[in-house]
Structure 1
């Protein structure tokens, strides 16, 4: 394992859930972290926590990942603040709507824009700097990117896209940049289905916790580039044989 001490990281979707937990996990390992999301108030609170508890530097960069110029500015701000970029955690994602027939154009467009376009913009902006640092790209995928999801096929398709994109980027960069994908099943966060957030739907320990995903991201980031290509995180009952 490599040390993350003094490395610089960008985490998108960092205002809550997996993103916030990932920022904490990286800071715990000594990385300086640029936290990005749309909710600047939450980012300010998180940055103060990271600096106060872990003694690292934290940059607050409010960012809508669907805005190409904003994503470019996020990466440039991070490089200027920390002197380079060693790690991008592409985590920002949304779910909207349910079945195909009942899904509105806005719901469809929002998922495609955040989950696919945002991932592409962040990757494109970060790759030149990650090549310079021989750094790491970690994509937060989903169980839905490996298995069909009948109740929200468009969301599932965006996660299949993410996984395919990540693997293809990995093939393209060779040994210049490490690329990993972390695929959690249901995670107890603000992720919302049918108006109910998963943190309210599930009891602690019933499904995957944000901190477990964050630990997997930090683990992947600290490995030799050839070591971790993909990590799946399921609750124990996910693949259990039905009685």
Structure 2
């Protein structure tokens, strides 16, 4: 595949304050990409923005945003475009997981997952697409192994990730002739804060080297964002022993 230089391009990353989002922001900045960082945690975003500017010499923009709020997402994209005079890469990364069987899952947790993993990705995509068409840019979704195979321990979360894949590939089909590349990256377990809201996080459950690191997903993001003429339609990054436990 022919790749392009990312130097001087602009990326918007949701869920940027930790985990895959933070690692991806750093990896893109390393390539010379100016990054807009979006998440709910304002202090963490500001600290990350300062660190990235210091470490990589690129421009940053911290945009505290709850992707569940439609107007906030529209304002996030508008502020990014105004600051950087365009938008080349969008990483739809913000996500939320709540475990439990269907009969025991609370309505609150059900709605939180739907609003974050479904509505948030839709709002972000809708607001960003006109600008990505202008730049013939790259739209990248963080999916999941759970969006490809049944997840008996967490069927609602899995369903939101099946939606992510279906939505992303359908968008890919609708905007490909306008020059927009659409990618879905599917990890298995990644050592992040994921799961901490309801129990032990993946970072606490797994030792380094046991499962995927956020930096590995970030390198996949850079690879997808760097395609010139092609699109990396779907990219799976699984822990090596995943299927022996499946």
Is 1:181 paired with 2:184?
yes
Q: Secondary structure at the match of 1:97?
A: coil
Contact 2:91 2:141 in 1 (8 A): yes
- Aligned partners of 2:75, 2:245: CA distance in 1, in Å? 48
TM-score by length of 2: 0.96
Deviations 1:164-187 (A, max 9, x none): 000000000023200001000001
SS in 2 for 1:138: strand
Count of aligned pairs:
242
**Structure 1 gaps, min length 5:** none
Aligned residue number for residue 230 of structure 1 = 234
Counterparts of 1:1-243 in structure 2, within 5 Å, are 1-175=3-177, 176-192=179-195, 194-240=198-244
Q: Distance in 1 between matches of 2:21 and 2:94?
A: 8
- Decide whether the 8 Å contact of 1:184 with 1:233 is kept in 2: yes
Deviation, 1:227, is 3.9
Contact 2:182 2:231 (C-alpha < 8 Å) held by counterparts: no
Unaligned runs of 5+ in 2: none
Matched position secondary structure for 2:230: coil
CA contact (8 A) 1:38 1:62 kept: yes
Displacement of 1:240: 3.6
Give the TM-score normalised by the residue count of structure 1: 0.97
SS of residue matched to 1:125: helix
